[in-house]
Amino acid sequence: MIQVTVTEAQKRLPELLDLVQAGENVEIRADSGQSYVVVSMPKHDHDRTDWTGYPKAGSLKGRIWISEDFDEPLEELREYTE
């Protein structure tokens, strides 16, 4: 991953976008300490029905398991709920 400051990213934006398009990730760090990662995402073609970029209802059936006691109150929080 390439790491640059905001100032450097402003100067090198076309070059950095070419790198992202080639598959590289770019992290931009602000003076505040916040960081942002620029990654390439596939373009969605709304006319294609076979594009699998977005999940469809039921696509994770059988892959997710939820415990029977998932919605039971937590013992650690009991004093706050009574």
Residue 9 exposed, middle or buried by CB count within 10 Å (0-12, 13-18, 19+):
buried
CATH number at residue 12: 3.40.1620.10
Full residue range of the structural domain in which residue 26 is found: 1-40
pLDDT of 78: 82
| Structural domains of the chain, count | 1
Q: Is residue 65 part of a domain?
A: no
Pairwise CA distance, residues 30 & 71, whole Å: 40
Rounded to two decimals, what is the model's pTM? 0.51
Q: Is residue 6 part of a domain?
A: yes
pLDDT surpasses 80 at 10:
yes
Mean pLDDT for 59-82 is 84
* 28 inside domain: yes
